[in-house]
């Protein structure tokens, strides 16, 4: 792979994939907790998770850059553990993407979990099903639509992100230069042919992803209607 755009494509897909995996691992319990609990901690955490939706990406990026600095505690710990800085590295991009895409994963899932009927979970409990069993064998299958939407949105959103990557990842070829930044570079260099290629590619990809998402959703809704 010598074409720098292909390398950018590879970095982008790798970033989106790894970010989505982390979001599934971290965001799923978070969405469950937000959908089940009450109280001050929950009421504070919910807007905090949603913050990246309203904040300019550069604001999030700026603060992450400060946290990533070897002078700060998290950045220092990371450097002593791995020997490299978190800022301007692929790992740093993953951390930033997870935070920035978190609401896009958590919110649809939280909606799905909240709409689970309490009585179904209670019925399962009286049938001898413990909390983990109920979650994996009842809540997850019943929330499959929420999971598909959450995963697609998180994946697509990570692929499209720009501002935060520029702030914390810089523009390092073979390391942190993702597609959206490569596109920006081509435009700055007035290389519109390559810019068109990337822009159109991203657009087609996003369209196909949404098309697939809506058709899956429609099919499940139709099936639900047939079942009722």
Q: How far is the CB of 138 from another protein (least distance, A)?
A: 7
Q: Among residues 139 and 165, whose Cβ is nearest to another protein?
A: 139
Among 125, 197, 213, 216, contact with another protein (rule: CB under 8 A)? 125
- The mark string for 169-208 relative to another protein (x by CB under 8 A, - otherwise) is ----------------------------------------
Among 43, 82, 84, 137, contact with another protein (rule: CB under 8 A)? 137
Q: How far is the CB of 180 from another protein (least distance, A)?
A: 38
Q: Among residues 45 and 121, whose Cβ is nearest to another protein?
A: 121
Q: Among residues 175 and 217, whose Cβ is nearest to another protein?
A: 217
Binding part of the chain for another protein, among 89-97, 101-109, 119-127, 197-205 by CB under 8 A, reads 119-127
Annotate 85-110 with b (16+ C-beta within 10 A) or e (fewer).
Answer: bbbbbbbbbbbbbbbbbbbbbbbbbb
38 binds another protein (CB under 8 A): no
Count of positions on this chain that bind another protein (CB under 8 A): 20
Binding part of the chain for another protein, among 63-71, 83-91, 116-124, 187-195 by CB under 8 A, reads 116-124
220 binds another protein (CB under 8 A): no
123 binds another protein (CB under 8 A): yes
Structure tokens at 60: 């999030």
Q: What is the 3-state secondary structure (H, E, C) of the chain?
A: CCCHHHHHHHHHHHHHHHHHHHHHHHHHHHHHHHHHCCCHHHHHHHHHHHHHHHCCHHHHHHHHHHHHCCCCHHHHHHHHHHCCCCCCCHHHHHHHHHHHHHHHHHHHHHHHHHCCCHHHHHHHHHCCCCHHHHHHHHHHHHCHHHHHHHHHHHHHHHHCCCHHHHHHHCCCCCCCCCHHHHHHHHHHCCCHHHHHHHHHHHHHHHHHHHHHHHHHHHHHHHHHHHHC
Among 129, 163, 187, 199, contact with another protein (rule: CB under 8 A)? 129
Residue closest to 15 by CA, chosen among 95, 103, 104: 95
Q: Among residues 55 and 148, whose Cβ is nearest to another protein?
A: 148
Point out which residues bind another protein (CB under 8 A).
117, 119-120, 122-131, 133, 137-138, 141-142, 227-228
């Amino acid at each position: 792979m010598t074409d720098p755009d292909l390398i950018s494509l590879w970095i982008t897909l790798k970033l989106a994939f790894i970010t989505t995996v982390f979001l599934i691992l971290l965001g799923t319990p978070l969405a469950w907790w937000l959908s089940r609990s009450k109280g001050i901690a929950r009421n504070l955490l919910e807007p905090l998770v949603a913050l990246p939706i309203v904040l300019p990406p550069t604001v999030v990026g700026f603060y992450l850059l400060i946290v990533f600095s070897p002078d700060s505690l998290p950045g220092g710990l990371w450097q002593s553990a791995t020997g490299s800085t978190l800022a301007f590295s692929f790992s740093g991009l993953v951390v930033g993407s997870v935070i920035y895409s978190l609401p896009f994963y958590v919110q649809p899932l939280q909606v799905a979990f909240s709409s689970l009927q309490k009585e179904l979970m209670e019925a399962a409990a009286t049938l001898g099903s413990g909390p983990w069993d109920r979650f994996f064998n009842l809540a997850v299958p019943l929330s499959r639509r929420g999971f598909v939407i959450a995963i697609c949105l998180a994946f697509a959103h990570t692929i499209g992100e720009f501002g935060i990557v520029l702030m914390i990842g810089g523009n390092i070829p073979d390391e942190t230069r993702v597609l959206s930044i490569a596109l920006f570079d081509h435009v700055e260099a007035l290389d519109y042919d390559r810019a068109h290629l990337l822009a159109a590619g991203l657009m087609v990809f996003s369209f196909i992803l949404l098309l697939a998402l809506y058709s899956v959703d429609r099919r499940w809704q139709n099936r639900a209607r047939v079942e009722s």
